[in-house]
Amino acid sequence: MPDSIVVRGGRVLDTTGERTVDVLIEGPVIAAVGDGLRGDRELDASGCVITPGLVDLHVHLREPGHEEAETIETGARAAALGGFSAIVAMPNTEPPHDDPAVVAAVLGAGTRSVCDVHAAGCITNRRAGTELAPMGELYALGVRIFTDDGACVDSAGVMRRALEYAGSLPGAVVAQHAEDTTLCTGGHMHEGEWSSRLGIPGRPAVAEAAIVARDCLLAELTGTRVHFLHVSTASAVELIRDAKHRGLPITAEAAPHHFTLTDAACASFDPVFKVHPPLRSADDVTAIKAGLADGTIDAIATDHAPHAVETKERPFEEAPPGMLGLETALALALTELVEPGVVSLADAVGLLSWRPARIAGLSDHGGPIEPGRCAHLCVIDPTVTWSPDPARLASRARNTPYEGRTLTGRARHTIVSGEAVVVDGEAQR
Ligand SMILES: [Zn+2]
């Protein structure tokens, strides 16, 4: 590894604004920002935007338990190719992150991978929704986000106890997969016109809104932070907007597929479009975009959910839910949000970088790009067009719903702790 890298000719964009300057990296840190800097190695950033590395709050890495679909190593590589310098691994592995030994193993494997891997911890043992996981022990390992993701904490009493306990752990946040199980069991897509037409049992929007409303009240009661994962409905956006106006400690994320695709895609009966919460109506998509534009939704998180090819080839109702996201999230934000003028480029980068970094308490990530800071950077080519090819993804799985779409914008270089892990769109290890 060369001693120093200079990223030359790009426009730096961070929380402090925009300016055209070079960035000099020495070892793991930013050494200087200015004009005419020299380094042992140069990375060309002309025509590009240099931003803090992207941060993904919501990634399924499948290790341990389903390494045929993804591993920590392959997932981290996919993340780096997508411009991410940090990701948070969700706890629904087998065994799950309710055991400090499992979390320690995930974090250990993460230190050998190409981006920073953080681990979310379970709220309840086995994610069964009944007794609290050893949250204090998980917290001691560095866990700050607690969630049973994939499963909703249906019991208000259990959620209250989790919030009361998390309230004693500085920086901890309880993240809810808001889908009331009793309203969703047996459902495979959004409940609406398309589900009736296709004869596929539905998962109603109210299943999300009911839990969001309840958990806003519990956040108010306990004073503990609640984060809503993959918000997908207009009614949930409205409830979160109101809760924030009332000053409640609420944050929320949206996944790219929930601002890009609608339930109409399920008409193909292609399980690549099956995901929980499901693809929603066009009105819901409009509301998600409005929530991203006005700050109601704090972050874009991928819910990257790899599945082995065989399982996604089953019939729609038997296939597992979830779709890949790490390598396409940035391009979808640029194509679906920035190009049409829904949000500015700076706001899109905020949704992908410094705002999620703050939610997860990752103070090394999210910039600003200034001397002394950790060198986690993403160099974005905002104008290049490309088309996702499942066969060329770094992820071990192939279940991208964006095959053949023309997307604008891509991460050109990704730098993590001063190491150029992606150069000109190619992973370096
Ligand atoms: Zn989820």
Q: Which residues, in sequence order, are CB contacts of 170 under 8 Å at separation 6+?
A: none
| Count of positions (residues) in the chain | 429
Residue 346 has pLDDT above 90, yes or no: yes
Calculate mean pLDDT across residues 13-36: 97
Omega cis (within 30) before 95: yes
Asked if the model's pLDDT at residue 91 lies above 80, the reply is yes
Does residue 64 have a cis bond before it (omega within 30 degrees)? yes
pLDDT of 294 above 90: yes
Query: How buried is residue 137: exposed, middle or buried, by Cβ count under 10 Å (0-12/13-18/19+)?
Result: middle
Confidence of residue 2 (pLDDT cuts 50, 70, 90): low
Say if residue 28's pLDDT is above 80: yes
Distance CA 31, CA 24 (A): 5
Distance between Cα 379 and ligand 1 center (Å): 29
Residue 182: Cβ within 10 Å count: 9
Q: Across residues 106-125, what is the average pLDDT?
A: 98
Contact 179, 276 (CB under 8 A): yes
Please tell me the predicted confidence (pLDDT) of residue 3.
Answer: 82
Distance between Cα 230 and ligand 1 center (Å): 7
Distance 8 CA to ligand 1 centre (A): 39
Complete domains list, the chain, with CATH: 4-49+372-427 (2.30.40.10), 52-360 (3.20.20.140)
pLDDT at residue 300 greater than cutoff 90: yes
How many angstroms is it from 326 CA to the middle of ligand 1? 15
How does residue 205 score in pLDDT terms, banded at 50, 70 and 90? very high
Cα 229 to ligand 1 centroid, rounded to whole Å? 6
pLDDT one-digit tens code per residue, 52-80: 999 999 999 999 999 999 999 999 999 99
Catalytic residue among 149, 284, 303, 381: 303
CA of 356 to the centre of ligand 1 (A): 16
* pLDDT, average across residues 104-133: 98
Provide the 10 A C-beta neighbour count for residue 20.
Answer: 11
Distance (Å) from CA 121 to ligand 1 centroid:
14
Measured CA to CA, the distance from residue 188 to residue 410 in angstroms comes to 32
Looking at this protein, which amino acid is placed at residue 34?
Answer: G
CA angle 149, 365, 344 (to 5 degrees): 85
Q: How far is the CA of 403 from the centre of ligand 1 (A)?
A: 23
Of 229 and 2, the structure prediction assigns the larger pLDDT to: 229
The chain-wide mean pLDDT, for the chain, equals 98
- Distance (angstroms) between ligand 1 centre and the Cα of 122 equals 13
Instruction: Tell me, in angstroms, the distance from the centre of ligand 1 to residue 306's CA.
Output: 13
> Mean of the pLDDT values across residues 327-341?
98
Please tell me the predicted confidence (pLDDT) of residue 1. 52
Percent of the chain, pLDDT > 90?
A: 99
Confidence of residue 36 (pLDDT cuts 50, 70, 90): very high
Query: Is position 303 annotated as part of the catalytic site?
Result: yes
| φ/ψ of residue 337, rounded to 5 | -115, -45
Cα 45 to middle of ligand 1, angstroms: 36
